[in-house]
Amino acid sequence: MSPERFEELVGEALDEVPVELLSLMNNVVFLVEDAPADGGDDLLGLYEGTALTDRGWDYAGTLPDRITIYRLPTLKFCETEEDVVEEVAITVVHEIAHHFGIDDQRLHELGWG
């Protein structure tokens, strides 16, 4: 799958997130990269930043949090384009949840592993 098509799928997944939820997100950018910097191939997405629940009165003037979706590990994990569509949607929700302070254990409990 081309990088352009994969980026389209990430955009479509973001379009499915309720506007009310997206409007609560603050100081965060979404990126698509081929693979993590360490070359790992088992990480589909990554949230880097300070979760909303951890931001205090002194949170100001910081660079945006980053939500990165990785193309090559996702493609390795999936067999069909339908699988990619589903996995991208799950990964986008998973990383957005981290922005709201929900950890991996709770996400697994909720079925968003």
Q: In the chain, what is the straight-line distance between the N-terminal and C-terminal CA atoms, in Å?
A: 24
pLDDT value at position 30? 94
DSSP state of 40: -
In a domain, 17, yes or no: yes
pLDDT value at position 102? 84
In a domain, 55, yes or no: no
In a domain, 7, yes or no: yes
Total number of domains constituting the chain: 1
Provide the CATH number for the domain around residue 89. 3.30.2010.20
> In terms of residue numbers, what domain contains 11?
3-50+63-110
Residue owning tokens 């991996």: 104
pLDDT value at position 113? 63
What token pair was written down for 73? Answer: 């590990």
In a domain, 72, yes or no: yes
Q: Is pTM, for the whole model, over 0.75?
A: yes
In a domain, 16, yes or no: yes
Q: What is the pLDDT along the chain (113 residues), one digit of tens a residue?
A: 899 999 999 999 999 988 888 888 888 999 999 999 887 788 999 999 988 888 888 888 888 999 999 999 999 989 999 999 999 999 999 999 988 888 878 877 877 66
Give the DSSP H or E segment for 58: none
What is the C-alpha to C-alpha distance for residues 113 and 70, in angstroms, rounded to an integer? Answer: 16
In a domain, 57, yes or no: no
In a domain, 8, yes or no: yes
Query: Among residues 58, 56, 70, 59, which one has the least CA distance to residue 7?
Result: 70
What is the C-alpha to C-alpha distance for residues 48 and 46, in angstroms, rounded to an integer? Answer: 6
